[in-house]
Amino acid sequence: MMRQKMVRGLISLSVVGLALTGCGTAKDQGNTSGATTAPTAAATAASKGEPTTLIISTWGFADDFFKKEVYAPFEKEHNAKIVLEIGNNAERLNKVKQGSSSVDLIYLSDYYAQQGIEAGLFDKIDRSRIPNLKDIYDLAKAPLGEDYGPAYTVGRLGIAYNPKATTKEIKSWSDLWSPELSKKLTLPNITSTTGPMVLDAASVVAGNTTFNEDQAFAKVKEVNKGVVKYYGQTSEFVNMFSQGEIAAGPIMEMYVKDLKAAVPETKFVSPQEGAYAVMNTVNVIKGSKNKQLAEDFINWHLSKEVQEKSAKAKVDSPVNTTLQLSPEEATGITYGADVVSKLRKLDMKFVNQNLKAWIARWNKEVAQ
């Protein structure tokens, strides 16, 4: 039996200025794919007066918003030209690992960013060059260590359900094990970004305060017969929910708007034991010739101006604590110190150390 502390407890944070928080998750933003061709030699500044090319690896969602509100102002202010390399988390990280990418800055979920750190792909950031760090939640400042980049957005994994499709009022992670949800339930696959979070939730439901692998898998096997499908992409959840194939399941808050578009009665619940923090990070690639410009861009993305526009456009939940949103503006995003302080955060280093074994065990004991 393996007992390890998988969750760093409920997150405590100090709020600088007025309360707020964020995510968008994805974000699974990482599910967005596509690609643009990024130049190689052109990544360095040409001659005096010509813009410096900054190559950014990202998902490509909300492209029009980012081009207008984030990239264009930065290009003008810093005499820069931003070139994008688009794809999902895994494929973009693999390109950097293989040396087939010339990016300066990379956006990844914390799960994939931890892999990049362990592979030695990221440069240490100079925090003195990113003054806006002082204005973001403690949770977001150094989610993977002081040497590496911040989270620019923080979302939450909770439970969405259709109250017209089940008599069960959902308040807790344990409610997913209720007989009323049998054959009406979906869960994320262990290989998805949120799969390990649900495995941890199963350990919590089993009565543990620290992660217990054996009891977590026992609980998953217990609910297995009532699961319609283990989804790998959020679009699968949305489709099953819209068609009435399922009534409930864990999902990131940012996608609830898609569920409500099809099922207006949809409810999103932050379980009483705590929803899970889903963080997207930004890091400078080791060897970048534009490290300072990349750090300037990180600082810009953490600014009140960018964070506020992103939040109001429902693109990302903010981590900057100096802005305020109205109740209507905050709908559908992870917002507020009271919300963020209750989030559970997985230790991504621990997750990455054990994931291969969990996947093998999942395939043997759960997926049949």
Question: How far is CA 168 from each of CA 176, 178, 226, rounded to the nearest angstrom?
Answer: 10, 8, 15
What phi-psi label fits residue 203: left (phi over 0), alpha (psi between -120 and 50 degrees) or beta?
alpha
Cβ contacts of 297 within 8 Å, gap of 6 or more: 54, 56, 74, 105
pLDDT at res. 171: 98
Contact present, 121 and 95 (Cβ < 8 Å): no
So what's the pLDDT on residue 136? 97
pTM of this prediction?
Answer: 0.83
The burial class, CB within 10 Å (0-12 / 13-18 / 19+), for 248 is: buried
- DSSP label at 46? -
| Per-residue model confidence (pLDDT) at position 49 | 87
pLDDT > 90? residue 319: yes
- Model confidence band, residue 367 (pLDDT cutoffs 50, 70, 90): confident
Q: Domain boundaries in the chain?
A: 24-154+280-318
Confidence check: pLDDT of 36 > 70: no
- Tell me what the mean pLDDT of segment 135-164 comes to: 97
Confidence of residue 141 (pLDDT cuts 50, 70, 90): very high
pLDDT (tens digit per residue) in 196-236 = 999 999 999 999 999 999 999 999 999 999 999 999 999 99
Fold designation for 24-154+280-318: D-Maltodextrin-Binding Protein; domain 2 (3.40.190)
Read off the pLDDT band of 314 (50, 70, 90).
very high
Judge whether residue 339 has pLDDT over 90: yes
Identify the band that residue 21 occupies on the pLDDT scale cut at 50, 70 and 90.
very low
Over residues 126-134, the mean pLDDT reads: 98
pLDDT digits (tens, 9 = 90+) for 227-277: 999 999 999 999 999 999 999 999 999 899 999 999 999 999 999 999 999
- Cα gap 280→107, rounded to integer Å: 7
Other Cβ atoms less than 10 A from the Cβ of 359: the count is 16
Residue 169 CA neighbour count, 13 Å, CB half: 1
Mean confidence (pLDDT) of the chain: 89
Q: What is the pLDDT of residue 368?
A: 66
